[in-house]
Amino acid sequence: MKPPRPPRLVLAALGAALATGVAAGFVPVPGIARPVTGPGVPAEAAGGTPEVGVTSLAPPSATAGAQDAGDWYLDITRPGAPVRMAIPDFRLAPPEASESEGRAGETDAAPADPLSDAGLVVAEEAAASASVASAVLWGDIEYAGVYRMLPKRFYRIAEAGSPEGVLDYYQWESIGADILVSGTLRIDGEMLVAEVRMHAVRAQENVFGRRYTAARGAARTLAHRIADDILQHAGNYQGVARTRIAFSTNRSGPRSKEIYLMDYDGHGQRPVTANGSLNITPSWSPDGRALSYISYREGAPALYLAFLYQGRGEKLVGDFQSFTPAWSPDGRWIAFTSNRDGQSEIYLAAVDGAELRRLTDNRAIDVAPAWSPNGRTIAFTSDRTGAPQIYTMDRDGLNLRRVSFEGSWNDSPAWSPSRQHSEIAYASRIERRPFDIVVHDFETRQTRQLTTGRGSNESPSWAPNGLHIAFASNRAGDDQVFTMHRDGSNLKQLTREGSNTTPRWGNPPANPR
Amino acid sequence: MRPDSRLLSTRRALSAIPLLALLSGLACSSVDRTPATGSDPAPGPMTPPEASEAGGAPGSDPSPSSSSGLTEDEILAIPPEVGSETDLLDIGAKSLEELNTEGHLKDVQFDYDSADLSPPMRATIEENAAWLSRYPSVRILVEGHCDERGTVEYNLALGEERARAVRDYLRDLGVDSGRMRIISYGKEFPLDPGHNETAWRRNRRAHLEIVAK
């Protein structure tokens, strides 16, 4: 019927390699957080550090598969419409006999017999893992918002038309798929093994094939890693599936707030601090391995660091009151507010404790520093003109500029980490109305409003890719953490228990060990 | 119990120095009666009454005659409630919790997005200063709080500014700064969990917590 279209498969080199670290769960920090176990807490929160092992799969044909060395991405376009992606659920694959036999020392190699009781239990667990992994992978890709997700009910048409066990690209093209991501999953000993292939449907090529391994019970972690890989290689998109959000919550007791972590999608909410005091305003280290935050555990609010993978915490600045820390992009400094010289001023403290510098000096309040992505400029809030407004200054305190001119109260600036957009988000109030999240674009000098008067919306924080914003809102009663796209769409509520404030979106942890 | 705050604040405006002398003199003369009236000498936590803020460093020994420079007018201007309060609380017999729940020290209510002290707020602080001068062993934590309508981050600094404003005025009134620490809780610990004008007014405050007696 249709004239054959030329393949539009282009492999483009990535300019900069994305983080290559493996995904990892959270290790409770002794002395900082209690180990958490119990229903609803994922295995990775309870102790282990599941890694996702990745190996390339042999290409099914001689024409593809060679791209796996190096960074590349597909350049598939569909003029006037988003590219359509089909992601069928993971199919269950039987354990590979050869690999099982490799684990000669293990006594529980029994699942080799699928009809034994143990074999049925494993089959049930594999099915549950496949179900979780399918839902998580779908959710992660959909969250990116760059693909039109083809509904799963169409897939049976394509599958029914294909010969048994054979991938018929024309069938998938006929239901409108541009990209097909298919995978199998099995339990092999103590490991979860997924094999995933991505196909450029119109080009009729398998462009991506990888085997992923993770600990049993870590299906979410496994799927997050797969999702980020798919997004990177399907369209050079930096996914956020392995990112995490830190926040402050009062859920653990009256008159106390603890620092918690959660995955970007709200799953796996778990404590970092557990001291029954007031612990607030977390800020991530750029490598996603540590947090700085303010704790009142010794009375006065002091600046603490928590090294999540070393089980270690320390007080960095303890005398006088300290507030609103912000870790520098190069990882070496914490900008924060202190009253050590009488008024609220902004300081820099070296993370190794070797140095302390004051950046502001006036009678007004200076608070809430936020670094530019290149670390040369700091945005902050000051009421030096009578009302809180957003300013920027160089990291030595010079070259002061006012950013916000509208509104009677502007606070909590957050600088977009995006390479494409030079913009800053903050909470803004007109007269005495509730706060809304606004974004100021430095290039166009325009300010756009992302939330529209539903409750008070505060403390914006950018996703590492600069395309989503987390914030706290009391639109549903207590303060809760939400995320939205940078244009204000795709709103999602992540927390529901207690009051949850000051979300801070962190990079995925690189090299967790 | 409640002094005429308008009178106090008027006097402060006219002549702050004599008032300080007046307050400290009051403190000394009142405290001096403690051994006579108190059934319990409360040896432990009760520091010697002479170590009042008027003398500055502990161990100095200001005599009660430090109030002798007052004119008769000034003595007459002493609010009768204060002047007639001869029975000091036996604070040694009370727990810190009891002292704090009994409300001897009054919260200072602030205006929206402000750490400025209005005349009524100064009157409240003067009332607190008078109480503190009668119990010179008491140490306090001045907590700055804000209502929920401001942002988390700025409110931490605003609460700090409120606590500092109250601490500084207490110091101006003669309360030794070594007896006071300040802390900001921003909007983290509202007194009133409500979301209305009444709750906000109650939550914009500096709270004086007794931490030692």
Q: What share of chain A is helix, strand, coil (3-state, %, to 5)?
A: 15, 35, 50
Shared-domain flag, residues A475 and A500: yes
Q: Tokens 């620092």 correspond to what residue?
A: A259
pLDDT tens digit string along A223-250? 999 999 999 999 999 999 999 999 999 9
Paired sense of beta strands A191-200 and A205-215, if any: antiparallel
Q: Which residue in the set B112, B157, B181 is minimally distant from A337, CB to CB?
A: B157
Which chain A residues are within 8 Å of B186, Cβ to Cβ?
Answer: 280
Q: What is the DSSP string of A272-301?
A: S--SSSBEEEEEE-TTSSEEEEEE-TTSS-
Give the residue with greater pLDDT, A80 vs A267: A267
The CATH number linked to A455 is 2.120.10.30
User: How confident is the prediction for chain A on average, in pLDDT?
Assistant: 84
Largest CA distance in chain A: 80
Please, what is the angle between helix B16-32 and helix B5-14, to 10°? 130
In angstroms, what separates the C-alpha of A165 from chain B's closest C-alpha?
58
| Residue B24: predicted pLDDT | 45
- Same domain assignment for residues A229 and A308: no
Of the residues A186, A217, A235, which one is the last residue of a structural domain? A235
How would you classify the pairing of strands A179-188 and A84-86?
parallel
pLDDT value for A376:
96
Chain A partners within 8 Å of B161 (Cβ): 343-344, 365
Does residue A219 sit in the same domain as residue A265?
no
Instruction: Provide the pLDDT for residue B8.
Output: 38
Beta partners for residue A257, in sequence order: A278
Please give the pLDDT value at position A113. Answer: 67
Tell me which long-range contacts B10-13 makes (C-beta under 8 A, separation of at least 24).
B11/B77, B12/B122, B12/B126
- Pick the more confident residue, B7 or A406: A406
Contact A388 B151 (CB under 8 A): yes
Task: Please write the tens of the pLDDT for every residue from B146-167.
Answer: 999 889 999 999 999 999 999 9
CATH number, residue A26: 3.40.50.10070
Q: Is the pLDDT of residue A495 over 90?
A: yes
Q: b vs e for A320-344, b when ≥16 Cβ sit within 10 Å of the residue's Cβ?
A: ebbbbbbbbbeeebbbbbbbeeebb
State whether residue B191 is helix, strand or coil: coil
How far, in Å, CA of A440 to CA of A425, rounded? Answer: 6
The answer, for B140 touching chain A at a CB cutoff of 8 Å, is no
Residue A410: closest C-alpha in chain B:
B151
Last residue of a domain, one of A235, A259, A291: A235
Residues A116 and A169 in one domain: yes
| One domain for residues A198 and A251 | no
One domain, residues A55 and A30: yes
Domain count, chain B: 1
Cite the DSSP H helix spans in chain B. Answer: 5-14, 16-32, 34-37, 72-76, 80-84, 96-101, 119-134, 152-172, 197-203
How high is the pLDDT of residue B109? 96
> What's the mean pLDDT in A491-497?
97
Say yes or no: A190 and A286 in one domain: no
| A153 located within any domain | yes
Cβ distance of B153 and A383 shorter than 8 Å: no
Residue B126 sits at the chain A interface (C-beta within 8 Å):
no
Is the pLDDT at B5 greater than 80, yes or no?
no
For position A61, what pLDDT does the model report?
54
Judge if A379 and A416 occupy the same domain: yes
Length of chain A (residues): 513
A21 plus A91 within the same structural domain? yes
B197, with CB counted inside 10 A (0-12, 13-18, 19+), is exposed
Mean pLDDT, chain B, whole residue set: 73
- Averaging pLDDT over each range in A3-12, B62-71, B96-105, which range is the top one? B96-105
Q: What angle do CA B187, B191, B195 make, to 5 degrees?
A: 70
What residues make up the domain containing B84? Answer: 5-212
Strand order of the β-sheet with A345-350 is A322-327, A333-338, A345-350, A356-358
Question: How many cross-chain Cβ pairs, A to B, lie less than 8 Å apart?
Answer: 88
Q: What is the mean pLDDT of residues A136-154?
A: 96
Predicted local distance difference test score (pLDDT) of residue A42: 37
* pLDDT exceeds 50 at position B181: yes
What percent of chain B is modeled with pLDDT above 70? 59
Q: Tokens for B149?
A: 């309508």
Assess A436–B contact: CB distance below 8 Å, yes or no. Answer: no
Residue A84 resides in a domain: yes
Predicted confidence (pLDDT) at residue B14 exceeds the cutoff of 50: no
Query: Residues 6 or more apart from A53 whose CB is under 8 A from it?
Result: A22, A212, A213, A214
If one counts the domains in chain A, the total is 2
The reported pLDDT for the residue numbered A173 is: 94
- How sure is the predictor about B31, in pLDDT bands with cuts at 50, 70 and 90? very low
CATH number of the domain enclosing B185:
3.30.1330.60
Q: Residue A502: list chain B partners with CB under 8 A.
A: 152-153
**What pLDDT is recorded for position A511?**
58
Q: pLDDT of B78-131, one tens digit each? A: 554 444 445 677 888 889 999 999 889 999 999 999 999 999 999 999 999 999
Q: Are B193 and A427 in contact (CB under 8 A)?
A: no
> What local confidence, expressed as pLDDT, does residue B62 receive?
41
Rounded CA gap, A251 and A271, in Å? 10
- Residue keyed to tokens 């030794």: B176
Binding-face residues of B in 156-175 toward A, CB within 8 A: 156-158, 160-161, 164
Judge if ipTM > 0.85.
Answer: no
- Distance (Å, whole) CA B149 – CA A456: 8
Give the closest residue to A145 by CA, choosing from A187, A93, A85, A199.
A85
More confident residue, A145 or A43: A145
- The answer to the question of residue A511 being in a domain is no
Residue A28 — φ and ψ, nearest 5°?
Answer: -60, 145
- A231 and A283 in one domain? no
What is the band of A512 on the pLDDT scale with cuts at 50, 70, 90?
A: low
DSSP state of A84: E
pLDDT band at residue A181 under the 50/70/90 scheme: very high
Q: How many CA atoms lie within 13 A of A392 on its CB side?
A: 19
Rounded mean pLDDT, A47-65? 63
Q: What is the pLDDT of residue B49?
A: 40
- What is the domain extent for residue A106? 11-235
Choose among A299, A343, A367: nearest Cβ to B154: A367
Partner residue facing A324 (CB), from B150, B156, B189? B156
Which one of A215, A235, A255 terminates a domain? A235
Between CA B82 and CA B65 the distance in angstroms is 19
